Amino acid sequence: MKNRSWGGRFKNSQTTEFLKYSASIHFDYLLAPFDIAQNIAYAAALQKAKILNGTEYKKITKALRKIDTEIADGTFDYRIEDEDIHMNIERALNQKIGSLSGKIHTGRSRNDQVATVTRMYMLENCKSIIEMLRKLRKTSLKQAEKYLNHLMPGYTHLQAAQPVRIAHWFLAYQQMFARDEKRFVDLLDAADVMPLGAGALAGNNFGIERKFLAKKLGFKRITENSIDAVSDRDFALDFCYAASVLFTHISRLSEELVIFSTGEFNAVSLPDELCTGSSIMPQKKNPDLPELLRGKTGRLNGNLINLLTMLKGLPLAYNKDMQEDKPPLFDSCEQTVASLPLVIKLLGETKFNTKHLRSKINRGFLTAVDIADYLVLKKMPFRQAHHIVGKIVAECEKKEKTFSHLTLSDFKKHSKLFEKDVFSYADPALSPDRKKGVGMTSETSILAEIRKLKKRL
């Protein structure tokens, strides 16, 4: 095998082993449609700069479109000896139009070429992810409306803490996914900068109109420093970071659904289509999708660390190390795009066992804070109220009782401030609606949040 793109400088060809080792075509073939678009736009810029005449421009772009068709229908001949997608396309162009193909690389380096098409690839994936995150947020909002009038224990330290509306649980993830969407929207704007025209690192000698190129390729802006243009991989880091945070949120959701779906919790039922059985135990319904999503989070976190580590010691401008930016970026893109439709289905079709959850909030001491607050409303300092209610809980546990078993006399043993109205504060069903502030778990607060989110979405 012999790479011909720089053969004039070398007496000897690279070894087969080295060419295989250094080739990137086995992963950067994903950039093919973007490289075709970039070549077509660049040919137009070369015509504008009078490097190509009208006939040459038409001949080149016609051949590029034929190559694009071959790529789309799977008949394109990828060759490892051409190293990467850019040289594969240039070789195919040469096969179609001969030496004229050599003009397409005028004033351009693979350094600015790859930086441009990698951004194009990432930006397209960003748009798809933003659209799916919007669907995911709408799904959580729909579920919040469905479960508005149903209660569940809210947990801290994985122990039942206070009664909340199930809707409030869905809206908590709504907030996480809203922040995720904003990260990708911000990235979409920050990364929308075109490096093409920067050449290897110093620019080009042909007066290529970069703003014309940017408009052709759909970029909002052009890079302002040619060295930085080919060195910058912040956009890839930003994407991998945004994807990593998104999967951290998905992993937290998955963990809760795994726990909630156990017989011990019996809080939710997951859709059969997203679960599996056991090869040996006929009774099993395993939460495979949430477990897979939880597992993939480590993979995406690893992609971010991979990129950070690769970039941390690189001098300016382009270095061959940067070829390794694509596998982690591509993997994070592909996993995110593949996972989100499944997360939408998972969240949208999870059913809460409302009857069982209602019984669970009546069995614990979930209104302990409400009873302490009751004493505070009677002018007792909170720390004293906290201590008194703690003693009531300890006594109930000793006698295997709950608040619902207590009489007014039982309460008065601990404080004369208790009156009959304490029972309404001890009732878990009445607890959420006392919390009427913005973002709280009362019906009023949740309805206000739902109305606000509907306007935003």
Active-site residues: which are they? Answer: 157, 278
* DSSP string computed for 21-44: HH--HHHHGGGHHHHHHHHHHHHH
* Tokens 């109305």 sit on residue: 451
Residues 253 and 20: their CA atoms lie apart, in Å, by 42
- Of 138, 178, 132, nearest to 450 by C-alpha is 138
Compute the Cα dihedral for 346, 347, 352, 357 and give only its sign.
Answer: positive
- Of 222, 34, 36, nearest to 117 by C-alpha is 34
Residues 233 and 123: their CA atoms lie apart, in Å, by 13
**CB-CB contact of 213 with 194 (8 Å):** yes
30: tokens are 């994903």
First to last CA, the chain: 55
Q: Is 8 exposed, middle or buried, given 0-12, 13-18 or 19+ CB atoms closer than 10 A? A: exposed
